[in-house]
Amino acid sequence: MMMKINMCSIPTFLILSYAGILCQASPARTTSSPPLTDTSPTLPVENDISTSSWTASKEQLVTESEDSNEILTAADDDSSHVDLTTDPDTVDPQLVYNSSDAEILSTSEPGMSVTFSQPSHPCRRPCIEGAPPMTCRFEFNVEWYYAMSKACYNCRKNATDCYRPECVTANGVKRPLITVNRLMPGPSVEVCLGDHVIVDVANHLMDETTSVHWHGHHQRGSPYMDGVPFISQCPISPNSVFRYDYRADNPGTHFWHSHTGVQRGDGAFGSFIIRTPSTLDPHTALYDADLSEHVILVLDWSHQLGMAMFTAHYHSDGDNKPQSMIVNGRGRYFNDTIAVTKTPLAEFTVKKGLRYRFRLINAGVQNCPIDLTIDNHTMTVISSDGSDIKPKTVDSLVSYAGERWDFVLNADAEVGNYWMRFTGLMDCDERFTKAHQLAILHYKGAPTEEPVGPIGYNVHLRRDLQLNALNVALQKEGTLSVPHLEAVDETYDAALKPEADQQVYIAYDFYPKDNPHYHKSKLYGFSEVNKKERVYTPQFNDISMKFPHFPLLSQYNNINQDTFCDHQKLSNCNSTFCQCTNIVNVPLGNVVEIIIIDKGVTYNANHPFHLHGHPFRVIGMDRLGETIDVEKVKELDRANMLVRNFTHPPIKDTITVPDGGYTILRVHASNPGYWLFHCHIEFHVEVGMALIFKVGEHSDFTPIPKNFPKCGDYYSGDDNHHHSSTEIDFHHGQPIDYNITVGEMSQDDSLISFTHWWHSFNGSFTTSSAERNYLSSLVILIVATALSLVLS
């Protein structure tokens, strides 16, 4: 008997896990902001799910989802369904999923195979020029989960079980993680240009806040939806919901991810694709199919929680080197050439003779650029960070954290299976963990077996021409750098006028400072601990970014203005630790030239940088030597030795800087708001490698949405919003004040410091509870008497 299941009849937690869409019968959520005014037709929400079902028959699945396939491919391709069938004759025609008790009724046994299908969202459709936009609703449920959980049954020995609902395999190593709708990657948001996107994010993390940033989407007219805590919004508290509500108005390959702590590295990320009508795509003649199944999300992966790794690295002698990586949430853990785990690899199906558009997204979190090669195939790159470029055919493509690259793969090889090789560089290279991963390019008609050929770290069959190479000079043979690319769009861009209105230098490196968050002078200062425990601080212009205590966009008047700064207002930061809310003011409409300089002193490193709110033109980039400084770059510029390209330079939003080199960007500051610019290595931004561009004045900003959430500090008494930020240290019973920003220590702060010292002092003696209470009372009496004498 074959049973169909209406998704809206399944218990709520299952609906949330699979669909990410609201059933009409679901209770209404309290929203944080009103939806945008929209006159476009909205599909009944129940239709989002009820058109799909889970069955055990591959033929039934193909029939039910046939329309969905046709809209995404011109190749009549049915590869959008995961087909685990090893032998069609062994498919069990009986019930696979039970809607009443949510249990798998037929357990996996030898010879049995099951096909699971996830329902398709109606907004994943052909984009037609002139068609009215749709309102696309999604629900994200963010929660702690577990890789290789009990949902995976016998996945280690039976690959079929690895594809069961809610089974997250990662690379086969058990560990806690964060999922959205019990998927990793989380649900893919795929819409058409101009669609109205509504995403309700429900935080089920119990004791952590969260947020979602729409990486690559500029949020013009909707800056409150950018997803950065304490800049565009309050963090989403546990057990609450925040509605992201905006218009999808800049097309391309983007992705969404948590912008809170190190949650992205624990699994809170997914793809975000805004497609254009084929009539508006300059590359439409280059490919036959643009399938959802050809989105590649790659992430460096560690075997412990991100916060455990972060605290061990910054407070002890732990490293920050990923052990592995995952592709679309799948992979194996390799010890160089030996697979320690046997979990399934990501697989991408093609049909011989067709050309496919692939969308590569690097969601990485550590200093681990990833080199992609595909055996017996080249890649014709056509887009970067959502902006079209003139095609370049290469053998090897390096991507950095936050970058996206679209390429066309011509399925012109012999029918078979081919390795897709992902090789980690920098902190993932042969000096450290040799982190790498494999995926499979599968031709229809090829046997269901893994490709032949050697495997291992840095094994590539061909690498004659590499795009976006790591830390190379502009003219290095066999490589293409971003400045070698040309934008397709040749319309006038104000960003390219001969002279910029404003020039901003951002110089950075790792500095051996007593950063009081991780090194307390006279206790465990930088020079006082062993070398393995020393933490170098990455900073822009010798300043660490301190996020405000209230969101800049919506609660600016609550913020202590003394905490704002830029490098021109602070002194001695090259030798001491400086921290503040680092804001660069940009008048609305200005053309800003940003010159980013990697001094290259401490490490041979590499940093990818992402700008929120605006795209930029990459007009220059080069590696000058092992080390460099701002004055040297300015001297070269005065001598006209910094090469700038104003002829169709590429448009991006994430860019790297060669170590010991520079990158020059041009931005037309046309989108008012506060926009973060930061290193996209998770640990680096968390310790302050960021600054904020304030574009325009508050009178230029979009009005605050009605009933927008508020948050911030609370102190009893009248002085509630303007406390200076200090770090209190204690050494031999003496409080030491690290006044990180501005302002003197108040009398109340002094009393708090003494009280804190006393608790530490008192707790160090092995006395009885009664004796400690007596001593505490005695000291309080003495302090109260002394204060009364002073005040009198």
Our count of domains for the chain comes to 3
Categorize the per-residue pLDDT at 780 as very low, low, confident or very high, splitting at 50, 70 and 90.
Answer: low
Evaluate whether 208 touches 261 at the Cβ level (below 8 Å). Answer: yes
Specify whether 653 is located in the same domain as 765. no
Residue 477 lies in a domain: no
Q: Identify the pLDDT of residue 537.
A: 94
Alpha-carbon dihedral angle through residues 468, 470, 473, 478, given to the nearest 10 degrees? -60
Categorize the per-residue pLDDT at 787 as very low, low, confident or very high, splitting at 50, 70 and 90.
Answer: low
Q: Identify the pLDDT of residue 740.
A: 34
Specify whether 464 is located in the same domain as 492. no
> How many C-beta atoms lie closer than 10 Å to residue 40's C-beta?
12
Domain end call among 641, 667, 700 = 700
Domain end call among 402, 435, 468 = 468
Residue 76 lies in a domain: yes
Categorize the per-residue pLDDT at 720 as very low, low, confident or very high, splitting at 50, 70 and 90.
Answer: low
Give the structural domain span for 415: 7-30+42-468
Q: For 52, which DSSP code? A: -
Specify whether 229 is located in the same domain as 293. yes
Task: Over range 667-695, report the average pLDDT.
Answer: 98
Q: For 642, which DSSP code? A: S
Residue-wise pLDDT for 159-207, tens only, equals 999 999 999 999 999 999 999 999 999 999 999 999 999 999 999 999 9
Q: What angle do CA 490, 131, 23 make, to 5 degrees?
A: 120
pLDDT at 747 over 90: no
Task: Over range 593-610, report the average pLDDT.
Answer: 92
Task: Over range 198-227, report the average pLDDT.
Answer: 98
Specify whether 205 is located in the same domain as 89. yes
Q: For 162, which DSSP code? A: G
Residue 756 lies in a domain: yes
Residue 726 lies in a domain: no
Specify whether 456 is located in the same domain as 505. no
Residue-wise pLDDT for 274-297, tens only, equals 999 999 999 999 999 999 999 999
Secondary structure of 498-512 in HEC code, one letter for each residue: CCCCEEEEEEEEEEC
Q: Identify the pLDDT of residue 644.
A: 95
The CA distances from residue 11 to 5, 20, 23, 100, in Å, are 12, 14, 11, 8
Specify whether 130 is located in the same domain as 214. yes
The CA distances from residue 730 to 726, 739, 747, 764, 784, in Å, are 13, 14, 17, 14, 22
Q: Identify the pLDDT of residue 792.
A: 55
Domain end call among 405, 436, 468 = 468
Residue identified by tokens 């997803």 is 227
Q: Measured between alpha carbons, how far is 653 from 50 in angstroms, rounded to an integer?
A: 38
Q: Identify the pLDDT of residue 57.
A: 27
Instruction: Using only the alpha carbons of the chain, give its radius of gyration.
Output: 28
Domain CATH for 601: 2.60.40.420
Categorize the per-residue pLDDT at 23 as very low, low, confident or very high, splitting at 50, 70 and 90.
Answer: very low
Specify whether 443 is located in the same domain as 530. no
Residue 540, beta-bridge partner list: 508, 543
Categorize the per-residue pLDDT at 320 as very low, low, confident or very high, splitting at 50, 70 and 90.
Answer: very high
Residue 298, beta-bridge partner list: 327, 362
Specify whether 330 is located in the same domain as 181. yes
Alpha-carbon dihedral angle through residues 513, 517, 518, 523, given to the nearest 10 degrees? 90
Q: Identify the pLDDT of residue 412.
A: 98
Residue 474 lies in a domain: no
Residue 723 lies in a domain: no
Least confident of 57-71, 353-367, 608-622: 57-71
pLDDT at 434 over 60: yes
Categorize the per-residue pLDDT at 534 as very low, low, confident or very high, splitting at 50, 70 and 90.
Answer: very high
Specify whether 148 is located in the same domain as 297. yes
Q: From start to end of 455-606, where are the E strands?
A: 466-467, 479-480, 502-511, 537-540, 544-545, 564-565, 579-586, 591-598
Evaluate whether 616 touches 494 at the Cβ level (below 8 Å). Answer: no
pLDDT at 415 over 60: yes
Categorize the per-residue pLDDT at 774 as very low, low, confident or very high, splitting at 50, 70 and 90.
Answer: low
The CA distances from residue 436 to 242, 322, 433, 740, in Å, are 36, 10, 9, 41
Specify whether 444 is located in the same domain as 512. no
Least confident of 75-89, 583-597, 654-668: 75-89
Alpha helices per DSSP H over 142-206: none
Residue 672 lies in a domain: yes
Specify whether 139 is located in the same domain as 264. yes
Taking the model in full, what pTM does it have? 0.80
Which has more confidence, 47 or 522? 522
The chain-wide mean pLDDT, for the chain, equals 82
Task: Over range 374-388, report the average pLDDT.
Answer: 98
Specify whether 460 is located in the same domain as 507. no
Residue 711 lies in a domain: no
Q: Measured between alpha carbons, how far is 612 from 677 in angstroms, rounded to an integer?
A: 6
Q: Measured between alpha carbons, how far is 201 from 239 in angstroms, rounded to an integer?
A: 10
